[in-house]
Structures are given as structure tokens and as C-alpha cells.
Amino acid sequence: MTYDLAIIGAGPAGMAAAIAAQGQGLVTIVIDEQPAPGGQIFRGIEGAAAQDRTLGADYAAGATIARNFRASGVEARFGTTLWHLEPDDEDGLCTLSLADAEGTDTLQARRVILATGAQERPVPIPGWQLPGVMTAGAAQIMLKTTGAVPAEPKRTVLAGQGPLLWLLAVQMLRAGAAPALILETRPADRIRENMGLATNAIAAGGAGMLWKGAKLLAEARLAIPIHRATTGLRAEGDQRLRHVAWDGGRFACDLLLLHEGVIPATHVPMAIGLEHAWDAAQRCWRPMTDERGATSHDRIAIAGDGGGIGGWEAAVASGRIVGLDQARRLGRIDEAGFGMAAAPAIAARRRALALRPFLDAVYAPGAAVLCPPDDATIACRCEEVTAGQVRAAARLGATGPNQVKAYLRCGMGACQGRLCGPTVAALIEETRGLPPGTAGLTRPRAPYKPITVGALAGLAE
Amino acid sequence: MFRAQSKAHQETIEVFVEGSAVRVPQGATAAAAVLIAGLFRIRETAVTGAPRLPYCMMGVCFDCLAEIDGVANRQSCMVPVTPGMRINVQHGARQTGAAG
Amino acid sequence: MSSTHDVSRGASHDAIVIGGGLVGAAIAWGLTGQGLQVALLDEGDVAYRASRGNFGLVWAQSKGLGAPHYQRWTRASALAWPDLAADLAARTGRDVGLQQPGGVHLCLSVAEFEDRAAKMARMREEAGNFGFEYRMIRAPELRDMLPGLGPKVVGASWTPYDGHANPLVLLHALHRAFTEAGGTYVPNAKVEADIHAAPHDFAVTAGGQRFAAPRVVLAAGLGNADLAPRFGLSAPVRPQRGQVIVTERTAEVLPMPVTTIRQTTEGSIMLGDSIEEVGFDTRQKPEVIKVIAERAVQSFPWIGRLNIVRAWSALRVMAPDGLPIYDQSETCPGAFTANCHSGVTLAGAHARLLAPMIAAGALDQERLGLLTAKRFNAA
Ligand SMILES: Cc1cc2nc3c(=O)[nH]c(=O)nc-3n(C[C@H](O)[C@H](O)[C@H](O)COP(=O)(O)OP(=O)(O)OC[C@H]3O[C@@H](n4cnc5c(N)ncnc54)[C@H](O)[C@@H]3O)c2cc1C
Ligand code: FES
């Protein structure tokens, strides 16, 4: 079966793109490895969590998007992973290799939108591999999909920085499980230094978002002890987390939730060889796209956070714009038609991104997050490779992560470098005296997600 | 480590984590069931045998690999629970029962 | 071949080795063992580097049908391997995971079995006094040797010479041993233009530095095709794509390597490797790895239950007749070239046999004479 458009990812961007494209008559299919629509932010949105008031108004907004998505009648395959994408097959189409509980199969599409979103930035502090150390996002997913909170809030600590950290703190607070302590890593002067950006944001229509954020912060600060400008974070314990420690303090806990912002999930875009650029403001790689999500490959577009972090409202707007542009490229609407249909989304995206430069500057991750100073810290969790080993490999002559991977196996484990990639690159850059973003990333290879040998052998012709 | 408490999630399912029955909300994943069961390991790494629990819960880190219904090394944070599901700790490298 | 423009001398060494893959690194390390000061020039992180994408067999049983000199060279390398592995471990603390328990080639049909038997018989005949020990083993006996064998397997050929090692650890260990022995490894140093080649007088610019030496060894893999003519040599190698699959680690044990299936010391199972003539194209093709998976499942059904954690494609360095090329320049004595598609297998020979020849200034014609690139001119 040949589709006009295949969309990978049913988060806010993927859903919005699908609705827009279907609306223009494109034969569209959406694929997501999760069991239901929502993506990371609206996890479990069709489930019980939609009724959970403690998750806040933004989360509730997701339910409307998911309803519209279902109502649009777009074909969707959940519980299905994309494990290989060939953007230039023999027929001049894209071939997608998929796997689900039944096995593997392929489909073809004229165009593909990657709406695979973001992942949390790795926070490689000493001891981060201990049971009991998780990401803040992980705890939030527990709230959304399971309605579960930390069993021992008094022994639970949040550490790091960024909007999601504060949102989670408040969500936990409202659910009656406020963490015992927040260790904020943001340096003291960051807000004052960036007041200019805040003023710009307000001018660009970001006042509402700024106000929303300030309210969250105030709510958390009233109820939860906060240690500011924390440095030297480490997780301690033998077989599991027992303490979190920092320069000047130590606290007994069995759950430590880390967060230092999110970064685009570049796995698939890198694997198919799209051009990427180092985003100095967000300290991460992102695929190069234009305003309409077009990439360096003319059949592939990117929508949402996968093209650079903007948050869910920007993702919805971008999904709509990118979806409409596929209709234009396939001749369903002309440039004028696109302009009319996309204008509200373009304005909405501008508003949604108004606060971004301020947030990027205020919550820029510290040097120790990007590049763990302690040689004993694990850089690659899968293969248990330390920062010191990576530095030694770089000194020996590895100028980038592909050679380090060959030397040390880091990036060869189950996560295929999704988690260690940024850290390994930063360690090489530090050791060899290179500017940030010049060591590159490893080239991910298929299968993007594990499939069994038997399932591959059974791949339908 | 976690406790299910939201009034919104009333429907629950019984699963077995390391042989013990645990009730978890519908919509939970196998990884969530392990966290609710209060285990301090979901796998032991194949490299050094170190214990791990889920880290990201969103399919990125692969620290949630577990044995689910007899199938080893499944990414448990991506697997929704089903009634009676058996979730066990993944001990190091996987056994396939080759000789059997 | 000498270039006409002025040569500023730059850092002087006893030998320059161009190409830091398995071939170049083994030779370079061997040369330091001969007391030479060596510069090993390599490209950067992104390069066609077969040494990062290969299968890791130290394999003799299928090498040199119709070319017994290649079989002898391969066996000499397999013999040199244990000492090489021990030496690397002692110097670097890295265990390259060498195992040489013998190996089998599985046959999935009667026709395959008979064809294989005929090939092996010819190999023995061609080996003459040098000898070639092998057995054709039928399924019932094979099942005892290899637990979990599939019903489709008809039999196998076996030789005692075969084995395997971890090729990535080998690459790392060679680079480390070389550096620790005083060698200079220079990454981001692609040799392109600005080459001076005269008898026992060579200089190249790479990575913004100038290197000079009375000897130069071209071991740039696929890069040799362009480099060789600059030194009065020829290396008509082409890329040949191979795709490989690796599974998760498994507790099951495969007691010996099979031509296309081997278990690493970590416990994962490697499945390989396709043979594709597609030029400089390292894309992966699901329909090709599907065939690899099918054959693996037919050989060992339990492998079907394993998750694939990685797969990749890489380019082999292939000569027109599939044999290695070793040569010395007649117009520019002191320049040598080395190319092969079995850089793991031949690492022992490269470090222990070839490097001393290069240090002494001439290739041993009895051993390597037939592997000159001149063989392609004759036709
Ligand atoms: C799929 C596959 C499976 C294989 N399986 C096996 C196996 O089981 N057993 C076995 O023995 N062998 C195997 N091989 C072959 C083995 O990998 C190669 O024989 C070996 O790696 C070749 O080494 P090399 O150093 O010649 O080439 P490469 O590893 O390609 O190294 C060439 C080096 O030269 C550098 N270079 C190139 N041009 C220049 C220049 N102008 N200046 C400076 N540097 C340059 C490159 O960056 C690179 O580092 C396999 C190969 C493949 C692709
Ligand atoms: S917890 Fe990270 S992949 Fe499942």
C-alpha cells in the first residue's frame, strides 16, 4: 500500500500534522511505538489521567487534540516501531520497515514527516546509574500513565533545572507527594543577567507564558525547600541510591529525579543522513530545517521538538504548518492556499516560541552536565564506560565518537548511543581542545529499535 | 518506590512481579509495575552484573530491560501491562533455551 | 614519480605508514618492534574504515582456492596470532579475545555439502606437502559439536586452523601498543596532494604537518587506489559492501565460529556478512539483512529468539581476484603497499612477518612474489 504521507510519532506535532494533511485529502498514516496517541507530553491522555486535575490545564488541552486526531479518521498504527527508513527506494518513494507484536512489514509513502520529539538530556553525575536515580520526566510519566507518585516523598529529591522540573514539583505537590528537597543547579545570576531577553519575550507575546511559569515557581517555593545554585551533584550508595550529595551538603534519599532540559531525538534523522547543525543556544544537535520543516532530503520533513526544542504549543503549530506544506508539495494546495491555511499556525508558533530564548539562556546546562569532570563517572550506561576511559581514547587519537565507539564500545549497547552520544562528544571536545559541537555524533544504524532475528527473517517481501 | 494513588486511575490489573501479585492501574507499563512493586532492581547488567532500575521511562535508555511473560530483554517501559503478566528481573545475558 | 616542487623536509621518521586501520596499525606496530621511528597517518572520525565494520574471523579454511600461496600466508598469520595476542595483552592490558578452536562452514543442502567437499579436496591437493587438514562432517555428528543446530543443516566442513577475535579491541590495542612503543599516531591526517616520492626519500603533508622518511607504506585501504600511482605502485581495489547483524548477549555458548555466525567474548552473536557490489554506498538494506537472518535461523533456530541490538554495513577492500596485494615500488624503492580483505586474519602476518621485510627494505619474493599487483597486468 502506498500512502501520500507517513508520519512517525503521534505526539502533539504528529497529531496536528496528520489532521492538517488528512484535511487536505492526503492519504496519511501515523505510526507510534506507544500504545496510544499523546507523545511524551500527553502520555496516557486517552486514559484515566485526562480526569486528573492535578496534572494541570495544559495536560487537559491534550485531550482535545487527541479527540480531534481520532475524529479526523487518520489511519494510525500504535505499538509499532519504525526500525528502518529508506528515503530513496527503487520506486522513488520512501520505504518504512516496521515492527509490531505480529512481526515485521514494510510500507511505502511519497513523503515522510518525522515527529519523533525530544528526549531528556542525559545528566551524567557520579552514581547516576544507581537504582533510584531517574529522570524527572520518568516520574511525570508515572503520574500520567499510572497515577503513581513516589512512595516516600520525604526521601525523594528533585535536582537540576528547567521548566519541567518546576512543573513536576508542582504536580507532585498537588498530588500530595511533594519532594523533600529541590536542588536547583541554575547559577544565581542567570535571571538577572537575562532580563533583556525576558523583556523581548513579553514584547513578542510571551507574557502569558512567563506569568504561568512564575506562578508555578511561586507555588513550589512556598511548599518545598530549595537549595539554589547547587554544584557538585552526586548520587551515592552501593547497590542502590542512599544519599544525594553536593558541594556543601548531603541528604538521605532513595529516589533522585534529575532534569537538565530536553534535546531533540536525532536518532532517526541522523541514521538516514539528514544534515544537522549544532544549536549553540540549546547545547545540542538538531536537524537542519526551514520554517516549514523541510530537511536536507526533499522527501523528509520534521515537525515538533525533533527539529529543535519549542514545547508542545509550538509543536502543535509546527505540525500544522509542516502537514500543510506536504499537501502543497504534493499539489493539493498552491502557495497561496498554504499561506492562508497556515497563517494562524505561523502566528501561534511565533507566540509559543517567544519565551524560548529567555528559557534557553536562563536554564543553559552547566559545563559539568555536558562534560562530567570526575573520571570515574559513567558516560555510557549500557556498556559501563567511564568518562576517564573516553578521555584516554581521545588522547590516544580518537577525534570523534565513531572511533571512540570502536575503541571502547560506548554507543554499541542497547540504547545505540542515544544517551551517551552527547556526553562522549563533549568529553572528546574537552580533551582535544575542540569547540562545542565539532566532534559530531555517531551515525546510528538500523534497526533503530531492537527486533528479533526471527522477526527479521520473517519480513514479508 | 512508587505508589499508585490517583483517584482517576481506578481500574486496576493484577500482574506478577518476581512471582508476587501486584495490582497496578490500567495503562501502566511493566516497568511501572516493577516500580510500584518496590523492587530495587529490574535487571542486572550483562557487563558487570550491576543492578539497574528504569531511568527514562520513555524508551531511550534501555535500563528497564526485563523478562516479560518468559521473553527476555524486553523494553519494559514500552510494554503495557495485561492481566496476569509475569515480569521478572533480567539477570545478565539472555537465555534462549538453545538445547531445549 | 618524484614531484618537481620544492620539498621542505618536516618531521623526519624512519617510516611513514599511511592508513591507521588494522593493516596500517599492525604494520606500523611491527615496524616499531624493528626499532624504527614511525609516523602513522590516518583520517579522522568519519572515514571508510573496514577495520571498524568487520566480522572478526581469523579464518583460513576458505582462503586461497587456486592460490596456495595465499593459503600458506594465511596459515602463517594464524600461527603468529597467539603470540601477537599475548604481546598486545601484556603491553596494553586489553584482551583481544583470540580463540582458535577450529571452525566450521555449514551447508544447508546436499548440493552445498557436495560442492563444499569438492572445494576442500582441491584445497588439500593444491596444498601439497604443506598439508591441509580438514573434515567433512555430517549432521548427526555435527549436532554433538554444535548444540541447537537446525534440522535444515546437512553437514559442514571443518578445519583446525580457524578462530576469531574482537576486531575493535584489536584496533584499539594496536593503536595503544604502537603509541606506547614510541610511535606517532596522527589522526585527521589524510594524505592527498603535496606528495614527494623519490628513491628512499619520501615526504607528505597531512593534517597541516610535513612528514619525511626513507620508507613509506601505503595501507590506506580503499584510499590506496588513488595513492599507489603517486609512488610508482598500483592498487586496483574496489569497495564491496558487507552487512552485519549483532544480537544481544546470550548465555548460550557457540563452541566454535561458523563462517557467517560467531559468538563474541561478550556473548553476543554476530551474523554476517553480505557480499554486495554497490560502490561507495554504506546504506543498509532490510531485504539483504533479512536473508542473513533467515540463514542464521535455519542454522540455529534459537538465534531467532534473540534481539538484534545493532547492524551495520561496511566496505571491504577488494582486489579484482579477491586476494591481497603486497608490493614494493621499482621506481621509488622504499615505497610499499599492502591491501587485503582479511585484515583481522592477517594481522599476525602483517605485524610479525611483513613489517620485518619492510624494515629490511625488500619483500620476501618467495612468500609474497605472487601477490604483486603486476599479476593484473599480465591478463
Ligand atoms: C563486512 C566485513 C566483514 C569482514 N570480516 C572479516 C573477518 O571476519 N576477518 C578478517 O580477517 N577480515 C574481515 N574483514 C576485512 C577487514 O576488515 C579488512 O581486511 C581490514 O579492516 C582492512 O584494513 P585496512 O587497514 O586495509 O583498511 P581500513 O580499515 O579501511 O583502513 C584504512 C585507513 O586508511 C585511512 N586512509 C584512507 N585514505 C587515507 C589517506 N589518503 N591518508 C591518510 N589516511 C587514509 C582511513 O581513514 C582508514 O583508517 C571484513 C570486512 C568487512 C567490510
Ligand atoms: S526506562 Fe529507559 S528505556 Fe525504558
Ordered structural domains, chain B, with CATH: 11-91 (3.10.20.440)
Cis peptide before A447 (omega within 30 of 0): yes
Tens of pLDDT, residue by residue over A288-308, are 999 999 999 999 999 999 999
Is any Cβ of chain A less than 8 angstroms from the Cβ of C307? yes
The amino acid sitting at A109 is A
Q: How far is A444 from chain B (nearest CA, A)?
A: 13
- Residues from A contacting C (CB-CB < 8 Å) are 84, 86, 95, 97, 106, 393, 396-403, 406-409, 412-414, 416, 439-440, 443, 445-447, 450-454, 456-457, 459, 461
* C-alpha span between B85 and C5 (Å, rounded): 76
- Residues from C contacting B (CB-CB < 8 Å) are 147-148, 248-252, 266-267, 300, 302-303, 305-307
Q: Tell me if residue A28 falls in helix, strand or coil.
A: strand
In a domain, C332, yes or no: yes
Residue B55 near ligand 2, beta carbon < 6 Å: yes
Pick from A66, A32, A33: nearest CA to A49:
A66
ipTM of the complex: 0.95
Parallel/antiparallel/unpaired status of strands A133-135 and A75-77: unpaired
Give me the phi and psi of A349, to 5 degrees please: -65, -40
Helices (H), C46-109: 68-92
Task: Give the pLDDT band (50/70/90) at residue B100.
Answer: very low
Distances (CA, A) of C48 to C6, C238, C276, C280, C347: 32, 12, 16, 9, 19
Query: Across the interface, do B98 and C147 touch by the CB < 8 Å criterion?
Result: yes
- The residues in B 34-63 lying below 8 A from A, measured between CB atoms, are 35-36, 38, 40-42, 45, 47-48, 50-63
Q: How far is B52 from chain C (nearest CA, A)?
A: 17
E strand or H helix that includes residue A368: helix A367-370
Give me the phi and psi of B42, to 5 degrees please: -115, -20
Q: How would you classify residue B14: left for phi > 0, otherwise alpha for psi between -120 and 50, otherwise beta?
A: beta
Cα angle A375, A376, A379 (rounded to 5 degrees) comes to: 85
Report the pLDDT value the prediction gives residue C377, as an integer from 0 to 100. Answer: 87
Give me the phi and psi of A74, to 5 degrees please: -60, 140
DSSP assignment string, C198-225 = ETTEEEEEETTEEEEES-EEE--GGGHH
Cα angle A396, C12, A439 (rounded to 5 degrees) comes to: 30
In a domain, C357, yes or no: yes
- Classify residue A222 as exposed, middle or buried by CB count within 10 Å of its CB (0-12, 13-18, 19+): exposed
Domains contained in chain C, number: 3
Helices (H), A55-189: 57-71, 136-146, 163-174
E strand or H helix that includes residue C310: strand C307-318
Angle A421-432/A387-396 helices, nearest 10 degrees?
50
Distances (CA, A) of C214 to A1, A12, A384, C14, C201: 64, 65, 44, 6, 5
Residues C251 and C373 reside in one and the same domain: no
Give me the phi and psi of C353, to 5 degrees please: -115, -45
* C-alpha span between C297 and C149 (Å, rounded): 9
CA R_g for chain C: 21
Angle C167-180/C68-92 helices, nearest 10 degrees?
60
Is any Cβ of chain B less than 8 angstroms from the Cβ of A255? yes
Query: Across the interface, do C185 and A397 touch by the CB < 8 Å criterion?
Result: yes
Helices (H) and strands (E) in chain A, counts: 16, 23
Report the pLDDT value the prediction gives residue C10, as an integer from 0 to 100. Answer: 66
CATH of residue C308's domain is 3.30.9.10
Query: Across the interface, do C300 and B98 touch by the CB < 8 Å criterion?
Result: yes
Does A325 score more than 50 pLDDT?
A: yes
- Classify residue A48 as exposed, middle or buried by CB count within 10 Å of its CB (0-12, 13-18, 19+): buried
Q: What is the mean pLDDT of residues A79-94?
A: 96
Q: How far is B43 from chain C (nearest CA, A)?
A: 14
Strand partners, A250: A245
Chain B residues with CB inside 8 Å of A48's CB? 6, 8-11, 25-27
Residue B49 near ligand 2, beta carbon < 6 Å: no
Q: What percent of chain B has pLDDT over 90?
A: 75
| Of residues C352 and A35, more confidently modeled | C352
Q: Taking CA atoms, what residue in C is nearest to A407? A: C172
Chain C residues with CB inside 8 Å of A440's CB? 45-46
- Classify residue C280 as exposed, middle or buried by CB count within 10 Å of its CB (0-12, 13-18, 19+): exposed
* C-alpha span between A345 and A325 (Å, rounded): 12
Q: Which atom belonging to ligand 2 lies closest to the Cα atom of B54?
A: 1
Q: Max CA-CA distance within chain B?
A: 49
In a domain, C83, yes or no: no
Residues C230 and C341 reside in one and the same domain: yes
Ligand whose nearest atom lies closest to the CA of C168: 1
* C-alpha span between A293 and A322 (Å, rounded): 6
DSSP single-letter state for residue A294: B
The amino acid sitting at A25 is G
Q: Tell me if residue A77 falls in helix, strand or coil.
A: strand
Residues C49 and C181 reside in one and the same domain: yes
Name the domain boundary from C112, C140, C159: C159
Residues C47 and C183 reside in one and the same domain: yes
C-alpha cell at C71: 593459503
Chain C residues with CB inside 8 Å of B95's CB? 250-252
pLDDT < 70: residue spans in chain C: 1-10, 378-379
Residues C151 and C272 reside in one and the same domain: no
Task: For the beta carbon of residue C125, count every other beta carbon within 10 angstroms.
Answer: 10
Tens of pLDDT, residue by residue over B7-33, are 777 789 999 999 999 999 988 999 999
Name the domain boundary from C118, C140, C159: C159
Question: How many cross-chain Cβ pairs, B to C, lie less than 8 Å apart?
Answer: 38
Task: For the beta carbon of residue A223, count every other beta carbon within 10 angstroms.
Answer: 13
* C-alpha span between B85 and B82 (Å, rounded): 6
Contact call for residues A368 and A231 (beta carbons, < 8 A): yes
Residues whose CB falls within 8 Å of the CB of residue A253, separated by 6 or more in sequence, listed in order = A132, A155, A156, A157, A180, A181, A241, A242, A243, A244
Tens of pLDDT, residue by residue over A373-382, are 999 999 999 9
Residues C270 and C366 reside in one and the same domain: no
Residues whose CB falls within 8 Å of the CB of residue A158, separated by 6 or more in sequence, listed in order = A136, A165, A168, A169, A179, A181, A182, A183, A257, A259
Report the pLDDT value the prediction gives residue C8, as an integer from 0 to 100. Answer: 52
Residues C133 and C266 reside in one and the same domain: no
Residues C336 and C301 reside in one and the same domain: no
Name the domain boundary from C267, C298, C318: C318
DSSP single-letter state for residue C167: H
Residue B42 near ligand 2, beta carbon < 6 Å: no
Residue B53 near ligand 2, beta carbon < 6 Å: no
Q: Which atom belonging to ligand 1 lies closest to the Cα atom of C223?
A: 38
E strand or H helix that includes residue B88: strand B86-91
Distance between Cα A143 and ligand 2 center (Å):
16
In a domain, C258, yes or no: yes
Contact call for residues A111 and A5 (beta carbons, < 8 A): yes
Pick from A170, A260, A159: nearest CA to A215:
A170
Contact call for residues C314 and C282 (beta carbons, < 8 A): yes
How far is the first Cα of chain B from the last one, in angstroms, to the nearest whole number?
37
Residues C290 and C339 reside in one and the same domain: no
Residues C284 and C327 reside in one and the same domain: no
Q: Tell me if residue C97 falls in helix, strand or coil.
A: coil
* C-alpha span between C61 and C156 (Å, rounded): 12
In a domain, C85, yes or no: no
Domain that holds residue C147: 103-159
Task: Give the pLDDT band (50/70/90) at residue B76.
Answer: very high
Q: Max CA-CA distance within chain C?
A: 71
Parallel/antiparallel/unpaired status of strands B20-25 and A118-120: unpaired
Task: Give the pLDDT band (50/70/90) at residue B93.
Answer: confident
Chain A residues with CB inside 8 Å of B50's CB? 129, 384
In a domain, C214, yes or no: yes
Residues C312 and C325 reside in one and the same domain: no
Q: How would you classify residue A230: left for phi > 0, otherwise alpha for psi between -120 and 50, otherwise beta?
A: beta
Residues C153 and C293 reside in one and the same domain: no
DSSP single-letter state for residue C350: I
In a domain, C67, yes or no: no
Nearest-by-Cβ selection for B93 from C250, C300, C303: C250
Q: What percent of chain B has pLDDT over 70?
A: 95
Strand partners, A109: A3, A94
In a domain, C73, yes or no: no
Cα angle B31, A77, A5 (rounded to 5 degrees) comes to: 130
Parallel/antiparallel/unpaired status of strands A103-114 and A300-302: parallel
Q: Give the torsion through C-alpha atoms of A345, A351, A357, A359, to 10 deg.
A: -110
Report the pLDDT value the prediction gives residue A460, as an integer from 0 to 100. Answer: 62
Strand partners, C195: C204
Q: What is the mean pLDDT of residues A330-344?
A: 97
Give chain A's mean pLDDT: 94
